[in-house]
Structure 1
Amino acid sequence: MSDKIRLQKFLAQCGICSRRKAEEYIQQGDVTVDGVIIHEMGVTVVPGISEVSFKGKVVAEKEPPVYYLLNKPRGYVTTLKDPQGRPIVTALITDCPLRLFPVGRLDFDTEGALLLTNDGNLAQKIQHPSHITDKTYEALVRGNPNDSALQRLEKGVMIEGKMTSPARLRRLAKKGGNTLVEIVIHEGRKHQVKKMFAHIGHPVIALKRTAYGKLRLGKLGIGKYRLLSSADINRIFL
């Protein structure tokens, strides 16, 4: 069972206000515990057991922020539910009791690096246009794009009436009549990498995201995941 803590401390831990301000709210009758209005100091509550309300709304403790890097397999959707009944990526995180959500998306048939978290602020920072976050992909494309074609992608191409931002590309290997190309972009437009290669006549056969910023998949196996440290999170923005 959780330990008892003072009501004003509980309100502060839940992010409602400071302890001092909480005392004012309690004195004003803005706080109830198990349906009883509290006016005096010294009342204690048991987190997870006592029902605390502030101005009529139930107060819950903030979940500690957690961050996972998943090597998403093909055949999973990056949504919290799917009307078609396809498997969802959060089902792969089997040892976290907290409610997680994916940061951004990877297509159903795309694999690779996917962040999952309960931290909305981090998700917004990664996806907001004001924060340039590189995303690295390995694209197996049909044929062998020449230097001129890759340079077009590096400079930006017109897709659906809007130019793509400059990208960085390099050939990694030839695979039969196809080519494995690394591409680094910082935009997050839907199906962007696939549309870029289709634009130059070399459609994507298979796609894998390998890194957010300097946070790389490394040897993380397909379908496997690892808990990230604050140092790992910082690598995203390097």
Structure 2
Amino acid sequence: MERLQKIIAQAGIASRRGAEELIARGRVRVNDQVVTHMGYKVDPEKDRITFDGNPINLEKKIYLLLNKPAGYVTTLSDPQGRPIVTDLLPEINARLFPVGRLDLDTEGALLMTNDGALGNYVLHPRYEINKTYEATVKGMPSAAGMQRLAKGILIDGQKTYPAQLRFLVKSRSRSKIEIIIHEGKKRQVRKMFQAIGHPVLHLKRTAYGNLQLGTLSSGKYRTLTKNDLKKLFLGKIPFTIKNIPA
């Protein structure tokens, strides 16, 4: 038996807190009965759970690491008709969603899953999952500029958390810098370098935690194992997963 709000979150409908709000509003039914109190427990294999009259699909959980190319939007639909990341997964029948976002022009590691619990844990500030990027920037930032980014810099009225940075390539015309952050604000890395006068020319995410993109080709994906997820969370997976290879 599991708590109803946990089941809703695992189905990817809402976060745990969002699921509680949906339950309180009477939008969730168990065996055709509205449930509005928190802590209600259900058997996902026996009970019929619906949200706004639609059955909640507790399908087999899938975890993929995709190397997103530039030119794809990290959404499940796009009113402008641009390519979306799920276009790269034509043989996957399950309804997967991206965990977080990458800008249209940003490439690299993108987690895709149908497990809402994974998404909630990866994005929750409490777990501070590091994201590693390789940023090619115009010019060569000074030591003072790099120090500003490392300590945190004011962007859109908010100061960023400390970052880890190191040069991969130094050049007066353009430099490549590895930057590690655990936040996920919109266009954050680009805005950080713009703030010190060195706009990003190319950006690629190379890792979540210790889960590396490695040699995965652009536009390709691989299925993640339990050991991969442990790398993501630096050791212990903070939620229960079933039927996934070690």
TM bucket, shorter chain? 0.7 to 0.9
Match of 2:140 in 1: 144
**2:179 corresponds to 1:183:** yes
Q: 1:196-228: per-residue Cα shift (whole Å, max 9, x none)? A: 000111010110000000001000000010000
Bigger radius of gyration among the two: 1
Q: 1:161, CA displacement in angstroms?
A: 1.2
**Partner residue in 2 for 1:173:** 169
CA distance in 1, matches of 2:186, 2:176: 21
2:57 and 2:229 map into 1 onto residues whose CA distance is 24
What is the aligned residue count?
193
Q: Which amino acid aligns with 2:115?
A: D
Structure 2: which 5+ runs fail to align?
1-6, 9-29, 33-44, 235-246
The Cα of 1:125 is off from its aligned counterpart by 0.6
Structure 1 residue ranges, 4+ long, deviating more than 3 angstroms after superposition: 52-61
TM-score after normalising by structure 2: 0.73
Match in the other structure for 1:80:
76
Distance in 2 separating the partners of 1:121 and 1:177:
44
The answer to whether the aligner puts 1:63 opposite 2:59 as a matched pair is yes
Aligned to 2:4: none
3-state secondary structure, aligned to 1:211: strand
1:161 to 157, 162, 167: 157
Q: Which runs of 5+ in 1 are unaligned?
A: 1-14, 17-29, 33-46
How high is the TM-score relative to the length of structure 1?
Answer: 0.76
Q: Report deviation, 1:57.
A: 5.5
Shift in alpha-carbon separation, 1:179–1:60, aligned structure 2, 3 A: closer
**Aligned position for 1:109:** 105
- 2:223 equivalent to 1:227: yes
In the other structure, the counterpart of 1:199 is 195
Give the match's secondary structure for 1:208. strand
Range moving further from structure 2, 116-125 or 91-100 = 91-100
Deviation, structure 1 residue 91:
1.1
